[in-house]
Amino acid sequence: MPQLIPTPWLALLIFSWTIFTAIVLPKVLKHSFPDNPTLPSKQNLSKNKWDWSWH
């Protein structure tokens, strides 16, 4: 069976791991998952008015 020929084993192993760590991992790392946007809540509008506390 050709898969059992030992000659390209180490090269294939190292090559696949190299491409995996060099290309696939950075690409997947760059994906970001921001929070879902929430609707503005109408309750918080009237609290905490700006009160110019230093005057």
Q: Taking CB under 8 A as the rule, does residue 10 contact other proteins? A: yes
Which pair of tokens denotes residue 22?
């060099």
Instruction: Compare residues 4 and 45 and give the one whose CB is closer to other proteins.
Output: 4
Indicate the residue among 27 and 55 with the shorter CB distance to other proteins.
Answer: 27
CA distance 53 to 50: 8
Tell me how far apart the alpha carbons of residues 10 and 14 are, in angstroms, rounded to a whole number. Answer: 6
Residue 2 CA to residue 4 CA, distance in Å, equals 5
Is 49 among the residues that bind other proteins (CB under 8 A)? no
* Contacts to other proteins by CB under 8 A: 1-5, 8-10, 12-13, 15-17, 19-20, 23-33
